[in-house]
A and B are shown apart, each in its own frame.
Chain A
Amino acid sequence: AQSVTQLDSQVPVFEEAPVELRCNYSSSVSVYLFWYVQYPNQGLQLLLKYLSGSTLVESINGFEAEFNKSQTSFHLRKPSVHISDTAEYFCAVSDRGGSNYKLTFGKGTLLTVNP
């Protein structure tokens, strides 16, 4: 069984400040890792994913996440946030070896960017 812990339920920051949203996972097998973003009244959108290769992955809008196997973490960072980044962010894990590719999500972190 897998689980995901997002350590902060809410993160308020000011515009142009850096932000880190923390994610730790637990799994007995190798995993794929994902960050999804959910804007108000919308479905989830994939932000970035770690499948293999470089442990640092980036999104097109300036977010990045680093897979740390020893610490079982996949924290999401952005050096300078915008008002438009206000949303809920979900970390998710999937069994690498299975065929179902079922996603297990954390409880989410609400990022609020204030002017």
Chain B
Amino acid sequence: EAGVAQSPRYKIIEKRQSVAFWCNPISGHATLYWYQQILGQGPKLLIQFQNNGVVDDSQLPKDRFSAERLKGVDSTLKIQPAKLEDSAVYLCASRRSLAGGTYEQYFGPGTRLTVT
């Protein structure tokens, strides 16, 4: 079973530029998450999709961040314009349901963004 794929792995941009990240979840996983991991901190959820609908985007800075999952499979996360404090690793995860109503999240390798 292929894992969660993300690209690019690394990106360096200047502040005020725009950037986009791509995620392909594990086949069949209906739930997809985007997390932001700032250096020295744990991942923080930005947005959660169930198929192509948004379940939770309460911590997404909507003035500059946007995300979509148009066909319920791949997803893109965009930042426009970027700020210095957006430097972080952006992790994508997808969720598999287990017996008994529980679940397991699988993470991609992440995209390391550096804003200069």
Contact = CB atoms under 8 A, between A and B. Distances in A.
Contact of B104 (A42, A46, A52, A102): A46
Interface residues of B, number: 24
B110 A101 contact: no
Nearest to A6: B42
A4 B55 CA distance: 23
B42 A41 contact: no
Interface residues of A, number: 24
B48 A102 contact: yes
A113 interface: no
A54 B4 CA distance: 30
Contacts of B100: 51-52
Interface stretch (A64-72, A75-83, A104-112): A104-112
A44 B43 contact: yes
B105 A43 contact: no
Nearest to B31: A101
Interface in A18-54: 32, 36, 41-46, 49, 51-52
A100 B56 contact: yes
B95 interface: yes
Nearest to A106: B42
A103 B105 contact: yes
Contacts of B106: 46
Nearest to B89: A43
Contacts of A104: 45
Nearest to A103: B105
